[in-house]
Amino acid sequence: MGVGILGFFLVVSVCFRPLVCQQPNTDGFFVSSFLQNMGLKSSKVHNFSAHFCSWQGVFCDSKEERVVRLVATGLGLSGVVSENTIGKLTMLEILDLSNNNLTALPSDIWSLGSLKFLNLSFNHLSGVLSSNIGNFAKLESLDLSHNNFSGSLPEAMSSLLSLQSLNLSRNGFDSKVPSGIMNCHSLVSLDLSGNKLGDSLHDGFGAAFPKLQFLNLAENEIHGKDSVLSGMVSLTYLNVSGNLFKGSVVGVFGGPLEVVDLSRNQFQGHFSQVNLGSNFSWSNLVYIDLSENQLSGEIFMELNSAQNLKHLNLAYNRFSHQRFPHIGMVRDLEYLNLSSTNLIGEIPSELSLLSSLKTLDISRNHLSSHIPMLNTKKLKILDVSYNNLSGEIPLSLVEILPSMIRFNFSYNNVTFCSSQIPPATLQSAFIGSSDGCPIAANPSLFKGKASKHRGLKLVLALTFSLTFSIVVILLALLFLAFGCRRKPTKWAVKQSSCKEEQSMSGPFSFRTDSTTWVADVKQANSVPVVIFEKPLLNLTFSDLLSATSNFDQGTLLAEGRFGPVYRGYLPGGIHVAVKVLVHGSTMTNQEAARELEYLGRIKHPNLVPLTGYCLAGEQRIAIYDYMENGNLHNLLHDLPLGVQTTEDWSTDTWELQDDSNGIQNVGSEGLLTTWVFRHKIALGTARALAFLHHGCSPPIIHRDVKASSVYLDCSLEPRLSDFGLAKIFGNGLEDEIARGSPGYIPPEFLQPAETSSPKTPTPKSDVYGFGVILFELLTGKKPVGDDYPEEKDGNLVIWVRGLVRKNQGLRAIDPKIHGTAPETQMEEALKIGYLCTADSPSKRPSMQQVVGLLKDIESITKQ
């Protein structure tokens, strides 16, 4: 009787709380108790007066009785998770509580035997990881990264036989990697980086993971020979930097590696002996870092075979004295560091062929002669210090120094003109160099021996100095009279401008052809702009106003699904596309900032990088790298430069480009007339989606894959945009985006909606959109609106699929690319598009599989 009365009072107490009354011992009761105990209150976003299956982040089975998925990421939940709440959701398959402030888990969470996906990353969980983790026999993905766990990893992890993704990075786990993990043969991704794991890996570690594609053991204290890392035949990403590995670097290379980071270890041997066997190919490599090891011999001359290499770091090894390696054919290289590698002789002029180079560090070598002409189009970091270089610094290089992030010419014999170089820069970047300017240009910095003609030189210098002073005074008066008409060169990190110093008061209203948006801020210079890679810039909303001419129509590039996009130059010469997300986010400023910070950490060569953001009142402003060559839709379908479509960032109406010899606003006739280039676009786009689906935890669903979301950067690399933005706006905009764009909408979203099974975007929705893009690349036709023979009121997908079924697929191929590659390659690509556009999502391949299929096409030859 006492228990019954107590239960009665418990039910009454719950019913009188702000949350809706739920029946005891039901999933609704457990979820409401969890959210209530964690401090979440009812709001417009979480309307707890409705049925619990309609709450944000709660997904139920078809009968709407049992919770199968609970997503409460980034909600500000804090403290200890109570017993008898989420631990009682016995049918739960997906649990995501990431990006909160949780400190401890309930003991009954380990009884959730149905879990397939568990993400508790970016919290404050501490203590030892329970051996009860072995109860999750069905678990496929586990992410506990960025917490405060400590102690040993439990051997019970050997029971997780279905595990495909394991991320325990950025914790305090110590001891050694348990042998039990080697039982998880299904692992595709393993990240144990940033812990305190020591000792050596068990023999056969690599061979235990035949499916492993991603391995990150960086920043631990792991010992071991190179042999323990061999045998991973599927590995594409390997990072064991910052450990104590020994042995030959040769044994590590194998499989289809794309990213290799072995830096800061004790690897030895000759780099030139890296084996080309074992399924390893230099052409796959995109990133390689072998710095701070004990490598010897010569730098491998076959680097020219690494056609796709973007990052190469061999600094601080024990290479033999040798001349600069031949590297001119690696045209996509963005980062090159050969510091302290015993280079001798001259810097080769072929470096000018590296048009994508952003960082060049060849310091601390024995290089001599002059600095050759370099391709300065993208160069941001240059270090040639501690060499034997002489002669003048090339003028083209001097001219870009103000816009560079860092440079150092110290401890050489080079000459330069210091007339506009601040003393602080001279003291740090030109130590030991010679000022080659006329004496009167900057006499305080000129130091030299007196000569026999000293008197004559002094008279000339004084005369020139007086004339120069008068000219300077006149120019200053003109400047004051007419104001600042052109942007001066700046050497400080943050450029100053000619805008008024007084703060501008808001709110600010801006109009485009289709909308009016308001930035409700009181003072423009009090709202910060965050630039991820340059946190010291201290930019504000006033800098955005200046960069976009107060969001003037002349800088407007497009008006897309999320809002208008503007082009601008931020201080420091940062060329950006500024996307104003005007639909109105359901997130608080703190939540939106956290989500944008997360998106900013997502990097891939085929994604448009998020450079930064600004929270201006209720407006969320995303700042992206500017994509010079527009989007695929415009280029593929030959739209004139004046015609803009959704998300077209290519129209150049702002300023003349300094790099006029580069590729700017190139028409499709010049780019897309070969299948080889179109295949490159397809493969790059597929890699971007595969990374979002399989390389991110939780997976990111794009929701609106289409040709106008694929951009070409200055190196003509395809980059996918707008990933992850839908989450910022809540369910309203997600539902809109789920419907997709005409011609790209998967069949499952065109069917009548059933109230019991809401249509939610999945990775297979993205696969369908990619299939449509692939058909566009093959046929040159638009998804809708073009003429499709024999298909009345049809569309591209219906037309091509019909031809493929009749074995007449070649009839669909764009005449522009006929004869530019074997027909068998295009036939195989048509089949891949056919698979991707299957009516049933379950019959579509994953994007990982699509990448593999597209890569296989390259090996097909004419029959």
Q: Is 684 found in the same domain as 622?
A: no
Q: CB-based contacts of 118: which residues, under 8 Å, 6+ apart? A: 95, 96, 136, 139, 141, 142, 143
Q: Are 280 and 255 in contact (CB under 8 A)?
A: yes
560: containing domain: 504-629+640-655
Give yes or no for residue 335 having a pLDDT over 90: yes
Q: Does residue 394 belong to any structural domain of this protein?
A: no
Of 91, 124, 157, the domain-final residue? 124
Sheet with 413-416, strands from edge to edge, namely 322-323, 343-346, 366-369, 388-392, 413-416, 434-435
Separation of first and last alpha carbons in the chain: 85
What is the enclosing helix (H) or strand (E) of 369? strand 366-369
- Segment 193-227, tens digit of pLDDT: 999 998 888 888 988 999 999 999 999 989 888 88
Q: Does residue 689 belong to any structural domain of this protein?
A: yes
CA distance 634 to 630: 7
Q: Is 544 found in the same domain as 685?
A: no
Least confident of 21-35, 682-696, 728-742: 728-742
User: What is the band of 522 on the pLDDT scale with cuts at 50, 70, 90?
Assistant: confident
CA distance 746 to 494: 47
344 bridge partner residues: 323, 366
Output the pLDDT for position 462: 37
Long-range residue pairs from 460-469, CB within 8 A, at least 24 positions apart, any chain: 464/438, 464/440, 465/440, 468/440, 468/441
CATH code for the domain of 48 = 3.80.10
- Is the alpha carbon torsion for 252, 602, 149, 171 positive or negative? positive
Q: For residue 535, which amino acid is it? A: P
- Is the alpha carbon torsion for 601, 702, 717, 657 positive or negative? negative
Q: Does residue 237 belong to any structural domain of this protein?
A: no
CA distance 830 to 836: 10
Nearest in space to 729 (alpha carbons), one of 501, 509, 561, 504: 561
DSSP secondary-structure letter at 603? -
Q: Is 616 found in the same domain as 696?
A: no
| Omega before 507 within 30 of 0, i.e. cis | yes
Q: Does residue 485 belong to any structural domain of this protein?
A: no
Least confident of 51-60, 158-167, 488-497: 488-497
Q: Is 844 found in the same domain as 815?
A: yes
CA distance 590 to 100: 12
Output the pLDDT for position 161: 92
- The pTM for the full model equals 0.53
Alpha helices in 307-349, H assignment, sequence order: none
Of 102, 124, 146, the domain-final residue? 124
- Residue showing tokens 């997503």: 71
CATH code for the domain of 608 = 3.30.200.20
CA distance 204 to 504: 65
Q: Does residue 786 belong to any structural domain of this protein?
A: yes
Residues 242-248 have a mean pLDDT of 90
Output the pLDDT for position 829: 94
| Omega before 718 within 30 of 0, i.e. cis | no
CATH code for the domain of 817 = 1.10.510.10
Output the pLDDT for position 499: 38
Give yes or no for residue 834 having a pLDDT over 90: yes
User: What is the band of 532 on the pLDDT scale with cuts at 50, 70, 90?
Assistant: confident
Output the pLDDT for position 555: 84
Q: Is 91 found in the same domain as 4?
A: yes
Output the pLDDT for position 468: 44
Q: Is 546 found in the same domain as 682?
A: no
CA distance 471 to 465: 10
**What DSSP line would sit under 825-836, residue for residue?**
HHHHHHHHHHHH
- Is the alpha carbon torsion for 233, 239, 245, 250 positive or negative? positive
Q: Is 858 found in the same domain as 818?
A: yes
Q: Does residue 338 belong to any structural domain of this protein?
A: no
- Residue showing tokens 């002073």: 469
The size of the chain, in residues, is 863
Q: How many CB atoms lie within 10 A of CB 484?
A: 11
Residues 439-460 have a mean pLDDT of 34
Long-range residue pairs from 803-808, CB within 8 A, at least 24 positions apart, any chain: 804/830, 804/831, 804/834
Nearest in space to 129 (alpha carbons), one of 74, 175, 94, 86: 175
CA distance 75 to 57: 11
Q: Are 310 and 330 in contact (CB under 8 A)?
A: no
User: What is the band of 436 on the pLDDT scale with cuts at 50, 70, 90?
Assistant: low
C-alpha to C-alpha distances, 539 to 13, 505, 542, 572, 623, nearest whole angstrom: 51, 17, 8, 11, 12
DSSP secondary-structure letter at 757? B
- Segment 58-113, tens digit of pLDDT: 999 988 889 999 999 888 899 999 999 999 999 999 999 998 999 999 999 999 99
Output the pLDDT for position 123: 93
Highest mean pLDDT among 18-27, 581-590, 609-618, 789-798: 609-618
- Residue showing tokens 């009345």: 792
CA distance 603 to 610: 9
- Residue showing tokens 């418990």: 10
Of 124, 155, 176, the domain-final residue? 124
Q: Is 583 found in the same domain as 618?
A: yes
- Is residue 96 annotated as a catalytic residue, yes or no? no
Q: Are 153 and 129 in contact (CB under 8 A)?
A: yes
Residues 672-678 have a mean pLDDT of 86
Output the pLDDT for position 48: 64
266 bridge partner residues: 246
Q: Is 689 found in the same domain as 612?
A: no
CA distance 272 to 301: 7
Alpha helices in 430-488, H assignment, sequence order: 454-482
Is 688 strand, coil or helix? helix
Q: Is 822 found in the same domain as 680?
A: yes
Give yes or no for residue 741 having a pLDDT over 70: yes
Q: Is 645 found in the same domain as 690?
A: no
Q: How many domains does the chain have?
A: 3
| Token pair in block for residue 32 | 């409401």
Q: Are 188 and 215 in contact (CB under 8 A)?
A: no
Least confident of 248-252, 476-480, 630-634, 786-790: 476-480
- Segment 694-736, tens digit of pLDDT: 888 788 998 889 998 999 988 888 999 988 877 776 544 444 5
C-alpha to C-alpha distances, 677 to 68, 425, 785, nearest whole angstrom: 44, 44, 25
Q: CB-based contacts of 181: which residues, under 8 Å, 6+ apart? A: 153, 157, 158, 166, 187, 190
Q: Is 512 found in the same domain as 604?
A: yes
Please identify which of the residues 27, 625, 704, 722 carries the catalytic annotation: 704
